[in-house]
Amino acid sequence: MPVSLSGRLRYRSALVALCAFCSFTQGCIHVRPQTGDMVRIPSGEFQMGSPEGEGEPDEHPRHKVFLDAYFLDRNAVTAAQYKKFAAATGRPLHPRPAWNKDDHPVVDVSWDDAAAYCEWAGQRLPTEAEWEKAARGGSQTIFSFGDDEGRIGDYAWYIDNSSGATHSVGTKKPNAYGLYDMIGNVYEWVSDWYGEDYYLSSPLRNPRGPSSGGARVLRGGAWGITPYYCRSANRYFSAARVGYDLRGFRCAGR
Ligand SMILES: [Ca+2]
């Protein structure tokens, strides 16, 4: 049905008003698509990695890291958000399992897909250090909620409670920063190349990982993973082009 001139003008006026509003809130859907709700992580130091006698060799040595303040998505990017990105950019949508619903974290995305999504959304992938600081939520314990893995079911969808599937984002308890599903639900791609010995030479301030490598880092465990591999310090890695049904991501602010 044709739209009258007055109708088009009303639409245009509404759009102008919306944009004026969005310039205050930075939430304009047609300027910053699908950035979602982000949490500001304050600047400062934290201890990255595991103490001696704990964890895997690549989590050592535990070392001090200083990060400038940054923003991180409160939730993992959902399948619905990713579908909008794919529709807007023509990027192929990978077939997904029937159990992966629209409000679940997107799965089967490669590092390349994740980086492209964040770029489209005006964001970027977090660094590995940013991810770990955020996951710790100020803690120095094995998990953000303490050392007792018996409590993990309050905070994470993992192998013993997930029924073999992803779950809606934000349905477990958040950590102290107000972030959901940092552990469990899906592994999360971060920007760094994986370096097994990187912690031996990592700079103090804003480390960004090795300058090159053969694999990208994933963090946090997932719906099919045991608590040991959901620890804040645990590291995992994969070739950048390989998606998988355990893998998703969230974005950090520019
Ligand atoms: Ca996660």
In whole numbers, what is the pLDDT of the chain averaged over residues? 89
pLDDT at 15 over 50: no
Per-residue pLDDT at 94:
84
Residue type, 102: D
How far does the centroid of ligand 1 lie from the alpha carbon of residue 100, in Å? 15
Residue 2 Cα to ligand 1 middle (Å):
47
How far apart are the CA of 156 and the centre of ligand 1, in A? 8
Taking 80 as the threshold, does the pLDDT of residue 7 lie above it? no
What pLDDT digit, counting tens, does each position of 83-133 carry? 999 999 999 998 899 999 999 999 999 999 999 999 999 999 999 999 999
Q: How far apart are CA 19 and CA 31, in angstroms?
A: 9
The rounded Å distance from CA 26 to ligand 1 centre is 26
Q: Is the pLDDT of residue 209 over 70?
A: yes
Question: What is the whole-number distance in angstroms between the Cα of residue 47 and the centre of ligand 1?
Answer: 20
- The lowest-confidence range among 6-10, 98-102, 150-154, 178-182 is 6-10
Residue 4 pLDDT exceeds 60: no
Band (pLDDT 50/70/90 cuts) for residue 183 is very high
List Cα–Cα distances, 33 to 29, 97, 122, 189, in angstroms. 5, 25, 8, 20
99 CA distance to ligand 1 middle (Å): 17
Nearest to 191 by CA among 119, 105, 91: 119
Using alpha carbons, select from 145, 168, 162, 169 the residue that is nearest to residue 223: 162
- Whole-number Å distance, alpha carbon 197 to ligand 1 midpoint, is 24
Phi-psi region for residue 132, left (φ > 0), alpha (ψ -120 to 50) or beta?
alpha
pLDDT of 31 > 90? The answer is no
Distance from the CA of 129 to the center of ligand 1, in angstroms? 15
Mean pLDDT of 221-226: 98
Question: How remote is the CA of residue 171 from the centroid of ligand 1, in Å?
Answer: 12
Q: How far is the CA of 137 from the centre of ligand 1 (A)?
A: 14
Average pLDDT over residues 50-77: 98
- pLDDT higher than threshold 90 for residue 221: yes
pLDDT band at 36 (very low <50, low <70, confident <90, very high): low
In this structure, the number of other CB atoms found within 10 A of the CB of residue 58 comes to 18
Amino acid at 91: R
Q: Which residues contact 109 (CB under 8 A, 6 or more apart)?
A: 82, 94, 117, 189, 243, 247, 248, 249
- Is the pLDDT score of 66 beyond 50? yes
> pLDDT: is 62 or 8 the higher one?
62
Ligand 1 geometric centre to CA of 187 (Å): 5
Averaged pLDDT for residues 62-91: 97
